[in-house]
Chain A
Amino acid sequence: MLRVDVSKRLGDFSIEASFTSEGRVTGLFGASGAGKSSLINMIAGLLQPDRGIIAIDGSTLDDTIRQMHVPVHRRRIGYVFQDARLFPHLDVRQNLDYGRRMNRLAGDAAQHRRVTDLLDIGNLLDRRPGRLSGGERQRVALGRALLSQPRLLLLDEPLGSLDEERKEEILPYLVRLRDEAGIPMVYVSHDAAEMRQLATHIVMLQRGRVTAFGGAEVLPAALARA
Protein backbone atom coordinates (compact mmCIF):
# COMPACT_ATOMS: atom_id res chain seq x y z
CA MET A 1 0.00 0.00 0.00
CA LEU A 2 1.27 3.41 -0.97
CA ARG A 3 0.11 6.42 0.97
CA VAL A 4 0.97 9.92 -0.21
CA ASP A 5 -0.28 13.12 1.37
CA VAL A 6 2.08 15.98 0.63
CA SER A 7 2.42 19.58 -0.31
CA LYS A 8 5.40 21.23 -1.89
CA ARG A 9 6.05 24.67 -3.27
CA LEU A 10 8.44 24.96 -6.23
CA GLY A 11 8.79 28.57 -7.35
CA ASP A 12 5.31 29.75 -8.30
CA PHE A 13 4.08 26.20 -8.79
CA SER A 14 2.68 24.19 -5.93
CA ILE A 15 1.68 20.59 -5.38
CA GLU A 16 -1.03 19.44 -3.01
CA ALA A 17 -1.58 15.74 -3.51
CA SER A 18 -3.19 13.09 -1.43
CA PHE A 19 -4.03 9.51 -2.37
CA THR A 20 -3.77 5.97 -1.09
CA SER A 21 -3.34 3.17 -3.57
CA GLU A 22 -3.35 -0.58 -3.09
CA GLY A 23 -2.95 -1.25 -6.79
CA ARG A 24 -0.25 -3.30 -8.41
CA VAL A 25 0.36 -0.41 -10.80
CA THR A 26 -0.61 3.07 -9.73
CA GLY A 27 -0.64 5.38 -12.73
CA LEU A 28 0.17 9.05 -12.26
CA PHE A 29 -1.54 10.61 -15.23
CA GLY A 30 -1.48 14.22 -16.36
CA ALA A 31 -0.15 16.69 -18.90
CA SER A 32 3.46 17.82 -18.70
CA GLY A 33 3.81 20.37 -15.93
CA ALA A 34 1.05 18.75 -13.86
CA GLY A 35 3.58 17.84 -11.16
CA LYS A 36 3.95 14.13 -11.93
CA SER A 37 7.74 14.12 -11.84
CA SER A 38 7.94 16.22 -8.70
CA LEU A 39 5.52 13.86 -6.99
CA ILE A 40 7.44 10.76 -8.03
CA ASN A 41 10.70 12.41 -6.97
CA MET A 42 9.20 12.99 -3.54
CA ILE A 43 8.27 9.32 -3.30
CA ALA A 44 11.84 8.41 -4.32
CA GLY A 45 13.26 10.78 -1.72
CA LEU A 46 15.06 12.98 -4.26
CA LEU A 47 12.79 15.86 -3.30
CA GLN A 48 11.61 16.63 0.22
CA PRO A 49 7.97 17.64 0.78
CA ASP A 50 7.31 20.89 2.66
CA ARG A 51 4.57 19.18 4.57
CA GLY A 52 3.03 15.74 4.70
CA ILE A 53 3.46 12.01 4.85
CA ILE A 54 4.72 9.35 2.48
CA ALA A 55 4.48 5.71 3.56
CA ILE A 56 4.72 2.29 1.94
CA ASP A 57 3.08 -0.74 3.57
CA GLY A 58 2.94 1.01 6.91
CA SER A 59 6.60 2.03 6.92
CA THR A 60 6.94 5.80 6.98
CA LEU A 61 9.41 7.41 4.56
CA ASP A 62 8.52 11.06 5.11
CA ASP A 63 6.64 12.62 7.96
CA THR A 64 7.22 16.33 8.33
CA ILE A 65 5.47 16.52 11.71
CA ARG A 66 7.86 13.94 13.15
CA GLN A 67 10.69 15.53 11.14
CA MET A 68 11.31 12.25 9.42
CA HIS A 69 12.98 11.93 6.04
CA VAL A 70 14.48 8.60 5.04
CA PRO A 71 17.36 9.36 2.62
CA VAL A 72 17.13 8.10 -0.96
CA HIS A 73 19.61 5.28 -0.56
CA ARG A 74 17.79 3.75 2.41
CA ARG A 75 14.31 3.73 0.89
CA ARG A 76 14.66 0.61 -1.25
CA ILE A 77 12.60 2.18 -4.00
CA GLY A 78 13.68 1.37 -7.54
CA TYR A 79 13.51 4.18 -10.08
CA VAL A 80 13.49 3.85 -13.86
CA PHE A 81 14.12 7.25 -15.39
CA GLN A 82 12.96 8.45 -18.76
CA ASP A 83 16.59 8.78 -19.86
CA ALA A 84 17.69 5.37 -18.45
CA ARG A 85 20.76 6.86 -16.70
CA LEU A 86 22.93 3.78 -17.08
CA PHE A 87 26.44 4.22 -15.75
CA PRO A 88 28.55 4.85 -18.87
CA HIS A 89 31.78 3.52 -17.36
CA LEU A 90 30.26 0.13 -16.48
CA ASP A 91 29.14 -2.59 -18.85
CA VAL A 92 25.59 -3.95 -18.74
CA ARG A 93 26.51 -6.76 -16.35
CA GLN A 94 28.07 -4.32 -13.87
CA ASN A 95 25.14 -1.93 -14.24
CA LEU A 96 22.75 -4.76 -13.39
CA ASP A 97 24.89 -5.78 -10.45
CA TYR A 98 25.25 -2.27 -9.03
CA GLY A 99 22.27 -2.29 -6.64
CA ARG A 100 23.19 -5.69 -5.25
CA ARG A 101 26.76 -4.52 -4.57
CA MET A 102 25.71 -1.27 -2.91
CA ASN A 103 23.18 -3.02 -0.66
CA ARG A 104 25.63 -5.85 0.06
CA LEU A 105 23.05 -8.44 -0.96
CA ALA A 106 24.14 -11.99 -1.65
CA GLY A 107 24.34 -12.92 -5.33
CA ASP A 108 21.21 -14.66 -6.53
CA ALA A 109 21.92 -16.36 -9.85
CA ALA A 110 18.34 -17.58 -10.25
CA GLN A 111 16.91 -14.10 -9.75
CA HIS A 112 19.51 -12.61 -12.12
CA ARG A 113 18.54 -15.22 -14.69
CA ARG A 114 14.81 -14.52 -14.27
CA VAL A 115 15.27 -10.80 -14.76
CA THR A 116 17.59 -11.07 -17.75
CA ASP A 117 15.19 -13.59 -19.34
CA LEU A 118 12.13 -11.49 -18.58
CA LEU A 119 13.72 -8.49 -20.29
CA ASP A 120 15.70 -10.36 -22.97
CA ILE A 121 18.97 -8.69 -22.10
CA GLY A 122 21.09 -11.81 -21.59
CA ASN A 123 22.92 -11.18 -24.87
CA LEU A 124 23.84 -7.58 -23.96
CA LEU A 125 25.74 -8.26 -20.74
CA ASP A 126 29.22 -7.44 -22.04
CA ARG A 127 28.28 -4.22 -23.83
CA ARG A 128 28.77 -0.66 -22.67
CA PRO A 129 25.67 1.58 -22.53
CA GLY A 130 27.07 3.69 -25.39
CA ARG A 131 26.62 0.69 -27.67
CA LEU A 132 22.96 0.04 -26.83
CA SER A 133 19.83 1.24 -28.64
CA GLY A 134 17.33 3.40 -26.75
CA GLY A 135 15.01 0.46 -26.17
CA GLU A 136 17.82 -1.80 -24.98
CA ARG A 137 18.99 0.88 -22.57
CA GLN A 138 15.53 1.18 -21.08
CA ARG A 139 15.28 -2.58 -20.63
CA VAL A 140 18.66 -2.68 -18.89
CA ALA A 141 17.57 0.21 -16.65
CA LEU A 142 14.45 -1.81 -15.73
CA GLY A 143 16.59 -4.83 -14.94
CA ARG A 144 19.01 -2.77 -12.88
CA ALA A 145 16.17 -1.36 -10.76
CA LEU A 146 14.55 -4.79 -10.32
CA LEU A 147 17.79 -6.45 -9.22
CA SER A 148 18.29 -3.96 -6.40
CA GLN A 149 15.29 -5.75 -4.84
CA PRO A 150 13.08 -2.71 -4.32
CA ARG A 151 9.80 -2.81 -2.43
CA LEU A 152 8.33 -0.31 -4.89
CA LEU A 153 9.28 0.47 -8.48
CA LEU A 154 8.90 3.98 -9.88
CA LEU A 155 8.76 4.43 -13.64
CA ASP A 156 8.91 8.01 -14.87
CA GLU A 157 7.73 8.02 -18.50
CA PRO A 158 10.03 5.10 -19.30
CA LEU A 159 8.77 5.16 -22.89
CA GLY A 160 8.88 8.93 -23.21
CA SER A 161 12.16 9.15 -25.09
CA LEU A 162 11.34 6.32 -27.52
CA ASP A 163 9.63 6.44 -30.91
CA GLU A 164 6.35 4.58 -31.52
CA GLU A 165 8.02 1.44 -32.78
CA ARG A 166 10.32 1.20 -29.75
CA LYS A 167 7.39 1.83 -27.43
CA GLU A 168 5.63 -1.18 -28.90
CA GLU A 169 8.85 -3.09 -28.29
CA ILE A 170 9.00 -2.22 -24.57
CA LEU A 171 5.32 -2.26 -23.55
CA PRO A 172 4.98 -6.06 -23.51
CA TYR A 173 7.94 -6.23 -21.11
CA LEU A 174 6.24 -3.79 -18.77
CA VAL A 175 3.06 -5.88 -18.86
CA ARG A 176 5.07 -8.99 -18.06
CA LEU A 177 6.82 -7.14 -15.28
CA ARG A 178 3.47 -6.14 -13.77
CA ASP A 179 2.15 -9.71 -13.94
CA GLU A 180 5.28 -11.62 -12.97
CA ALA A 181 7.65 -9.54 -10.85
CA GLY A 182 5.31 -9.04 -7.89
CA ILE A 183 6.64 -5.57 -7.09
CA PRO A 184 4.12 -2.73 -6.82
CA MET A 185 4.79 0.03 -9.33
CA VAL A 186 4.07 3.69 -9.80
CA TYR A 187 3.86 4.52 -13.48
CA VAL A 188 4.08 8.11 -14.66
CA SER A 189 2.82 9.02 -18.12
CA HIS A 190 0.83 11.53 -20.11
CA ASP A 191 -0.21 8.83 -22.58
CA ALA A 192 -3.72 7.49 -21.92
CA ALA A 193 -3.16 4.39 -24.06
CA GLU A 194 -0.14 3.36 -21.99
CA MET A 195 -2.15 3.94 -18.84
CA ARG A 196 -5.00 1.74 -20.04
CA GLN A 197 -2.60 -1.09 -20.80
CA LEU A 198 -0.65 -0.94 -17.58
CA ALA A 199 -2.25 0.84 -14.67
CA THR A 200 -4.67 -0.79 -12.27
CA HIS A 201 -5.34 2.44 -10.38
CA ILE A 202 -5.07 5.92 -11.77
CA VAL A 203 -4.27 9.18 -10.04
CA MET A 204 -5.15 12.10 -12.26
CA LEU A 205 -3.06 15.22 -11.75
CA GLN A 206 -3.77 18.73 -12.97
CA ARG A 207 -1.67 21.75 -12.01
CA GLY A 208 -0.36 20.03 -8.92
CA ARG A 209 -3.75 18.79 -7.65
CA VAL A 210 -5.36 15.34 -7.72
CA THR A 211 -8.51 15.74 -9.81
CA ALA A 212 -9.62 12.12 -10.01
CA PHE A 213 -8.74 8.72 -8.62
CA GLY A 214 -9.99 5.34 -9.74
CA GLY A 215 -9.75 2.69 -12.44
CA ALA A 216 -9.24 3.13 -16.16
CA GLU A 217 -12.73 4.67 -16.40
CA VAL A 218 -11.37 8.01 -15.17
CA LEU A 219 -9.19 8.32 -18.26
CA PRO A 220 -11.45 9.35 -21.17
CA ALA A 221 -13.11 12.16 -19.25
CA ALA A 222 -9.68 13.40 -18.32
CA LEU A 223 -8.61 13.37 -21.95
CA ALA A 224 -11.55 15.58 -22.91
CA ARG A 225 -10.56 18.07 -20.22
CA ALA A 226 -6.87 17.97 -21.12
Chain B
Amino acid sequence: MFELSPTEWTAILLSLRVATVATLVATPLGIAAAWLLARREFWGKSATDAVIHLPLVLPPVVTGYLLLLTFGRRGPVGAWLADHLGIVFAFRWTGAALASGIMSFPLLVRPIRLSIEAVDRRLEQAAGTLGAAPWQVFLTVTLPLALPGVLAGMVLGFAKAIGEFGATITFVSNIPGETQTISSAIYSLIQTPDGDTAALRLVVVSTLIAMAALVASEWFARRALQRLHGN
Protein backbone atom coordinates (compact mmCIF):
# COMPACT_ATOMS: atom_id res chain seq x y z
CA MET B 1 0.00 0.00 0.00
CA PHE B 2 2.94 2.35 0.57
CA GLU B 3 4.45 1.88 -2.88
CA LEU B 4 4.23 5.27 -4.60
CA SER B 5 3.31 5.17 -8.30
CA PRO B 6 5.28 7.13 -10.94
CA THR B 7 2.45 9.68 -11.25
CA GLU B 8 2.49 10.22 -7.51
CA TRP B 9 6.28 10.60 -7.51
CA THR B 10 6.00 13.13 -10.32
CA ALA B 11 3.49 15.15 -8.33
CA ILE B 12 5.66 15.04 -5.18
CA LEU B 13 8.83 16.06 -7.01
CA LEU B 14 6.99 18.80 -8.86
CA SER B 15 5.58 20.12 -5.59
CA LEU B 16 9.06 20.17 -4.07
CA ARG B 17 10.45 21.98 -7.11
CA VAL B 18 7.61 24.52 -7.21
CA ALA B 19 7.86 25.25 -3.48
CA THR B 20 11.67 25.44 -3.51
CA VAL B 21 11.79 27.87 -6.43
CA ALA B 22 8.92 29.93 -4.98
CA THR B 23 10.66 30.16 -1.59
CA LEU B 24 14.11 30.97 -2.97
CA VAL B 25 12.80 33.72 -5.24
CA ALA B 26 10.44 35.13 -2.61
CA THR B 27 12.98 35.24 0.24
CA PRO B 28 15.10 38.23 -0.88
CA LEU B 29 11.91 40.12 -1.75
CA GLY B 30 10.42 39.09 1.59
CA ILE B 31 13.50 40.34 3.48
CA ALA B 32 13.32 43.67 1.65
CA ALA B 33 9.59 44.02 2.35
CA ALA B 34 10.03 43.01 5.99
CA TRP B 35 12.85 45.50 6.48
CA LEU B 36 10.82 48.32 4.91
CA LEU B 37 7.82 47.54 7.11
CA ALA B 38 9.93 47.13 10.25
CA ARG B 39 12.36 50.00 9.90
CA ARG B 40 11.06 52.66 7.55
CA GLU B 41 8.21 55.13 7.51
CA PHE B 42 7.00 55.92 4.02
CA TRP B 43 3.92 57.11 2.21
CA GLY B 44 1.62 54.15 1.50
CA LYS B 45 3.10 51.89 4.17
CA SER B 46 -0.27 50.61 5.40
CA ALA B 47 -1.37 50.02 1.82
CA THR B 48 1.81 48.03 1.11
CA ASP B 49 1.25 46.00 4.25
CA ALA B 50 -2.35 45.33 3.20
CA VAL B 51 -1.39 44.25 -0.33
CA ILE B 52 1.20 41.82 1.05
CA HIS B 53 -1.41 40.29 3.35
CA LEU B 54 -4.20 40.26 0.76
CA PRO B 55 -3.55 36.68 -0.46
CA LEU B 56 -4.11 35.51 3.12
CA VAL B 57 -7.67 36.83 3.21
CA LEU B 58 -8.78 36.74 -0.43
CA PRO B 59 -10.43 33.55 -1.64
CA PRO B 60 -7.54 31.67 -3.35
CA VAL B 61 -9.64 31.31 -6.47
CA VAL B 62 -9.79 35.11 -6.70
CA THR B 63 -6.01 35.41 -6.39
CA GLY B 64 -5.62 32.71 -9.04
CA TYR B 65 -8.00 34.44 -11.39
CA LEU B 66 -6.26 37.80 -10.88
CA LEU B 67 -2.97 36.08 -11.70
CA LEU B 68 -4.52 34.67 -14.85
CA LEU B 69 -5.73 38.12 -15.87
CA THR B 70 -2.33 39.70 -15.20
CA PHE B 71 0.20 37.00 -16.01
CA GLY B 72 -1.81 34.94 -18.52
CA ARG B 73 -0.80 34.88 -22.18
CA ARG B 74 -3.00 37.86 -22.89
CA GLY B 75 -2.51 39.58 -19.59
CA PRO B 76 -0.56 42.87 -19.69
CA VAL B 77 2.40 41.55 -17.70
CA GLY B 78 2.23 38.00 -19.05
CA ALA B 79 2.23 39.11 -22.71
CA TRP B 80 5.14 41.48 -22.14
CA LEU B 81 7.22 38.85 -20.33
CA ALA B 82 6.52 36.28 -23.04
CA ASP B 83 7.40 38.68 -25.90
CA HIS B 84 10.48 40.27 -24.36
CA LEU B 85 12.01 37.73 -22.02
CA GLY B 86 10.44 34.49 -23.21
CA ILE B 87 9.07 33.80 -19.73
CA VAL B 88 5.67 32.11 -19.77
CA PHE B 89 3.69 31.46 -16.61
CA ALA B 90 0.32 30.30 -17.91
CA PHE B 91 -0.19 26.52 -17.60
CA ARG B 92 3.50 25.97 -16.74
CA TRP B 93 5.15 24.85 -13.51
CA THR B 94 6.67 28.34 -13.31
CA GLY B 95 3.12 29.67 -13.00
CA ALA B 96 2.52 27.26 -10.13
CA ALA B 97 5.67 28.63 -8.48
CA LEU B 98 4.45 32.21 -8.99
CA ALA B 99 1.02 31.42 -7.55
CA SER B 100 2.37 29.59 -4.51
CA GLY B 101 5.05 32.25 -4.02
CA ILE B 102 2.42 34.97 -3.83
CA MET B 103 0.12 32.92 -1.62
CA SER B 104 2.93 32.12 0.82
CA PHE B 105 4.46 35.62 0.79
CA PRO B 106 2.59 36.95 3.87
CA LEU B 107 3.63 33.89 5.90
CA LEU B 108 7.23 34.40 4.78
CA VAL B 109 7.31 38.12 5.56
CA ARG B 110 5.73 38.02 9.02
CA PRO B 111 8.41 36.13 11.00
CA ILE B 112 11.16 38.08 9.22
CA ARG B 113 9.50 41.37 10.06
CA LEU B 114 9.04 40.39 13.71
CA SER B 115 12.65 39.29 14.02
CA ILE B 116 13.95 42.51 12.41
CA GLU B 117 11.75 44.53 14.78
CA ALA B 118 13.26 42.57 17.69
CA VAL B 119 16.81 43.57 16.72
CA ASP B 120 17.96 46.26 19.16
CA ARG B 121 18.39 49.49 17.21
CA ARG B 122 21.00 50.59 19.72
CA LEU B 123 23.22 47.81 18.37
CA GLU B 124 22.76 49.25 14.89
CA GLN B 125 23.76 52.68 16.22
CA ALA B 126 26.85 51.18 17.85
CA ALA B 127 27.79 49.61 14.52
CA GLY B 128 27.46 53.03 12.89
CA THR B 129 29.85 54.63 15.39
CA LEU B 130 32.37 51.90 14.55
CA GLY B 131 32.35 52.99 10.92
CA ALA B 132 29.73 50.70 9.37
CA ALA B 133 27.70 52.30 6.57
CA PRO B 134 23.94 51.62 6.70
CA TRP B 135 24.16 48.69 4.24
CA GLN B 136 27.03 47.22 6.25
CA VAL B 137 24.99 47.60 9.44
CA PHE B 138 22.19 45.66 7.76
CA LEU B 139 24.45 42.86 6.50
CA THR B 140 26.61 42.46 9.63
CA VAL B 141 24.19 43.22 12.47
CA THR B 142 20.51 43.33 11.50
CA LEU B 143 20.38 40.37 9.14
CA PRO B 144 22.54 37.95 11.19
CA LEU B 145 20.50 38.72 14.31
CA ALA B 146 17.27 38.27 12.35
CA LEU B 147 18.53 35.15 10.58
CA PRO B 148 16.57 32.60 12.64
CA GLY B 149 13.42 34.56 11.80
CA VAL B 150 14.37 34.53 8.14
CA LEU B 151 14.78 30.75 8.26
CA ALA B 152 11.50 30.32 10.15
CA GLY B 153 9.77 32.44 7.52
CA MET B 154 11.32 30.40 4.73
CA VAL B 155 10.15 27.15 6.32
CA LEU B 156 6.60 28.42 6.82
CA GLY B 157 6.52 29.88 3.32
CA PHE B 158 7.80 26.60 1.88
CA ALA B 159 5.14 24.61 3.74
CA LYS B 160 2.41 26.93 2.52
CA ALA B 161 3.78 26.89 -1.04
CA ILE B 162 3.91 23.12 -1.19
CA GLY B 163 0.27 22.81 -0.15
CA GLU B 164 -1.13 25.67 -2.20
CA PHE B 165 -4.14 24.57 -4.19
CA GLY B 166 -6.85 27.11 -5.04
CA ALA B 167 -4.82 29.85 -6.72
CA THR B 168 -2.55 27.33 -8.44
CA ILE B 169 -5.31 25.23 -10.01
CA THR B 170 -7.17 28.38 -11.11
CA PHE B 171 -4.08 29.91 -12.69
CA VAL B 172 -2.25 26.95 -14.23
CA SER B 173 -4.85 24.15 -14.10
CA ASN B 174 -4.04 20.55 -13.19
CA ILE B 175 -1.79 19.04 -15.86
CA PRO B 176 0.06 15.85 -14.80
CA GLY B 177 3.81 16.33 -15.12
CA GLU B 178 3.56 20.07 -15.64
CA THR B 179 1.32 21.69 -13.03
CA GLN B 180 -0.10 18.78 -11.05
CA THR B 181 1.23 19.22 -7.51
CA ILE B 182 0.51 16.96 -4.53
CA SER B 183 -2.64 18.94 -3.70
CA SER B 184 -4.09 18.88 -7.20
CA ALA B 185 -3.14 15.19 -7.56
CA ILE B 186 -5.08 14.41 -4.36
CA TYR B 187 -8.01 16.41 -5.72
CA SER B 188 -7.97 14.38 -8.98
CA LEU B 189 -7.57 11.06 -7.16
CA ILE B 190 -10.53 11.70 -4.86
CA GLN B 191 -12.70 12.14 -7.93
CA THR B 192 -11.41 8.90 -9.49
CA PRO B 193 -13.40 5.73 -8.50
CA ASP B 194 -10.35 3.72 -7.27
CA GLY B 195 -8.19 6.65 -6.22
CA ASP B 196 -8.74 6.42 -2.45
CA THR B 197 -5.54 4.56 -1.46
CA ALA B 198 -3.38 6.67 -3.76
CA ALA B 199 -4.96 9.81 -2.36
CA LEU B 200 -4.30 8.54 1.16
CA ARG B 201 -0.62 7.95 0.36
CA LEU B 202 -0.25 11.53 -0.83
CA VAL B 203 -2.13 12.75 2.22
CA VAL B 204 0.45 10.98 4.43
CA VAL B 205 3.34 12.48 2.43
CA SER B 206 1.95 15.99 2.62
CA THR B 207 1.24 15.65 6.37
CA LEU B 208 4.84 14.55 6.96
CA ILE B 209 6.20 17.52 5.02
CA ALA B 210 3.97 19.95 6.92
CA MET B 211 4.95 18.46 10.31
CA ALA B 212 8.65 18.62 9.46
CA ALA B 213 8.22 22.27 8.46
CA LEU B 214 6.50 23.16 11.74
CA VAL B 215 9.17 21.43 13.83
CA ALA B 216 11.93 23.14 11.88
CA SER B 217 10.27 26.54 12.20
CA GLU B 218 9.88 26.08 15.97
CA TRP B 219 13.55 25.12 16.24
CA PHE B 220 14.66 28.22 14.35
CA ALA B 221 12.49 30.41 16.59
CA ARG B 222 14.25 29.00 19.67
CA ARG B 223 17.64 29.63 18.08
CA ALA B 224 16.58 33.23 17.50
CA LEU B 225 16.10 33.83 21.23
CA GLN B 226 19.48 32.33 22.07
CA ARG B 227 21.15 34.49 19.46
CA LEU B 228 19.60 37.69 20.76
CA HIS B 229 20.81 36.90 24.25
CA GLY B 230 24.33 36.26 23.11
CA ASN B 231 25.01 32.89 24.69
The reply to whether A81 and B122 form a contact with Cβ atoms under 8 Å apart is yes
The reply to whether A145 and B130 form a contact with Cβ atoms under 8 Å apart is yes
Q: State the Cβ distance, B222 to closest chain A Cβ, in Å.
A: 15
The reply to whether B229 and A130 form a contact with Cβ atoms under 8 Å apart is yes
Q: B14-53 CB contact bits vs A (8 Å, 1 = yes)?
A: 0000000000000000000000000000000000000000
Partner of B128, one of A73, A88, A89: A73
B231 interface residue per 8 A CB criterion: yes
Residues of B within 8 A of A102 (CB): 127, 130-133, 136, 140
Q: Which of B140-178 contact A (CB under 8 A)?
A: 140-141, 144-145
Partner of B130, one of A46, A71, A88, A144: A144
Q: State the Cβ distance, A143 to closest chain B Cβ, in Å.
A: 12
Interface residues of A (CB under 8 A from B): 44-46, 71-79, 81, 83, 85-89, 98-99, 102-103, 128-131, 144-145, 148
The reply to whether B125 and A128 form a contact with Cβ atoms under 8 Å apart is no
The reply to whether B131 and A103 form a contact with Cβ atoms under 8 Å apart is yes
Task: Known contacts A86-B230, A88-B230, A130-B229; decide if A99 and B130 are in contact (CB<8 Å).
Answer: yes
CA distance A25 to B23 in the complex (A): 54
The reply to whether B128 and A46 form a contact with Cβ atoms under 8 Å apart is yes
Partner of B126, one of A74, A75, A79, A89: A79
Which residue of chain B is the closest to A131 with respect to CB atoms? B231
CA distance A44 to B126 in the complex (A): 10
B123 interface residue per 8 A CB criterion: yes
Which residue of chain B is the closest to A144 with respect to CB atoms? B130
Question: Sorted from nearest, which 7 A-B pairs have the closest CB atoms?
Answer: A88-B230, A130-B230, A79-B129, A72-B128, A99-B130, A85-B126, A130-B231
B228 interface residue per 8 A CB criterion: yes
Residues of A within 8 A of B136 (CB): 73, 102
Task: Known contacts A86-B230, A130-B229; decide if A148 and B131 are in contact (CB<8 Å).
Answer: yes
